[in-house]
Amino acid sequence: MNNFYISQIISIFTIILTILGLCQKEKFKTLLCFTLCNITMMTTYFLLNRLLSVILVVVATIRTLIYFIFALKNIKPNAFIFIFFEIIYVAISVFLWHDYIDLLMLTNFCIVTYTTWQDDMKILRIGYIISAILLTIYDVLVFAYVNAISEIILLISSVVTYIHYNIKNKIDNIVLAFYQAIAPMFDINICNEENCFCIFSKTIVDSYNNFILIDNVKKLKINKQKLNRYFKKYGMSQIIYLPTQNNDNIEYIMDLSRKNELLFHDVWMKLRTGYNPYIKKCLLKNVEFKQCNDKNKKDIIKVFDKGFVHQVGDSIYKFSNQYIEIYEKNIFYNFTEHFNVRPYMAFYKEKPIALAFVYRKGTNAFICEVTTLQKYRNKGVASRLIKFIISSERKLGIEEFYLVTEKYTWLETFYMKNGFEPFYEGYCIKLNKKSKK
């Protein structure tokens, strides 16, 4: 049996490992399958006398392991690491160049190294689609026909994933959808005004419930005079919210940021497929978790009132009494009976210590107002509460979980360690009153 037939037989294992890798729910197992897949690919290319491809796959495997170590620490690899691997690919290709076909393999690894280095999941998925196309063509040209089948499987999987996450399940104006859901609770009105939405509450005056949501900056050239008319018309704070999914509106946002008009940057997060939360060593034992009812009303208000108090410099932030009163008024009759919002709590020695609300809409759920009393923080309570919520809600038919948090903070890191990933970003910007109108 010559090398050609042996290489095709070995490539069968590449297909098996590819399918197994796509079926795994845990990232570690997926990585293991694709690492073994790389070994079978190297063997196939070696038997077909494609030495350059063998070496490039070895380097790519090392790159994947390094990227994975950074991912475990929730750190983006340094740009020098990305540049280093790109230089290595080019250098190896120069020394081991065989023919023009090698250009396909070199281009493939350069693209994949970049797409796996940056954080935009849409770009990552597009990169895998391009990679699968290049490798399919390469495998056919070097007679690795069975290998080409595995690449076609990856191509189909990547296209389906792209459609699922970036087209079919794209949530336009997710912020607007959320405020439409909670609008009846706080007497929030949402008015459509020329490619933007004015969101304002009759009862709550803080900026979180009174702002302008820009639908598309490219359609509406922001005119501060026009915005100020909206603010005056609705008696709102000077706050605008710009969704920035796929870096839309980024130039305008950066311009406002340079003018010191940035209030905060937040990010919507989505639970990753194959939920496997990071739970650190629990320091607090005998904690009970449960979905609450009207018997727990006082406990909920207590944790809600005390759990969000924090100090920044000399300033102490907490919800206003008016805000607390509205929650207390609506906590069960309106929230749970009319708007499908359910509170979950953690109890230690029968004392309430942590809280989270879950809003259900169809098969989707929004997790919000997650907090733990200061005395019980950093003891694994919130992580276990989130795990309990997701487990309980899935039994009720919930398939997708979302939440919103602040970008570049320990909170974002906390949620990513608990199975979430960035899904939709936005800036909330306060217009500088000193700037020209």
Condensed to tens digits (0 to 9), the pLDDT of residues 113-154 reads 888 787 666 677 788 889 889 999 999 999 888 888 888 888
For the ranges 56-65, 117-126, 168-177, the lowest mean pLDDT is seen at: 168-177
Q: Is the dihedral angle over the CA atoms 354, 241, 316, 415 positive or is it negative?
A: positive
The per-residue pLDDT for range 226-243, each reduced to its tens digit, is 777 777 777 777 777 776
Residue 406: per-residue pLDDT:
82
Residue 223: per-residue pLDDT:
66
Residue 282: per-residue pLDDT:
67
Which residue type occupies 292? Answer: C
Q: In a 3-state reduction of DSSP, which class is residue 260? A: coil
CATH superfamily of 287-418: Gcn5-related N-acetyltransferase (GNAT) (3.40.630.30)
pTM of the predicted structure, to 2 decimals: 0.56
Q: Is the pLDDT of residue 171 over 60?
A: no
DSSP codes joined into one string, 88-144: HHHHHHHHH--STTHHHHHHHHHHHHHHHHSS-HHHHHHHHHHHHHHHHHHHHHTT-
Query: Where along the chain do its domains lie?
Result: 3-168, 174-265, 287-418
End-to-end CA distance of the chain: 80
Confidence bin at 272 (pLDDT 50/70/90)? confident
Residue 168: per-residue pLDDT:
46
Rg of the chain taking only CA atoms, in angstroms: 26
Residue range 257-280: mean pLDDT, rounded: 70
What CA–CA distance (Å, rounded) separates 398 from 363? Answer: 4
Residue 185: per-residue pLDDT:
63
Residue 169: per-residue pLDDT:
45
Residue range 365-371: mean pLDDT, rounded: 88
Residue 436: per-residue pLDDT:
45
Which residue type occupies 9? Answer: I
Confidence bin at 390 (pLDDT 50/70/90)? very high
DSSP codes joined into one string, 196-257: EEEEEESS--SGGGSEEEES-TTTS---HHHHHHHHHHHT--SEEEEE-GGGTTHHHHHHHH
Confidence bin at 354 (pLDDT 50/70/90)? very high
Residue 437: per-residue pLDDT:
41
The per-residue pLDDT for range 340-352, each reduced to its tens digit, is 788 999 999 889 9
Residue range 65-74: mean pLDDT, rounded: 71
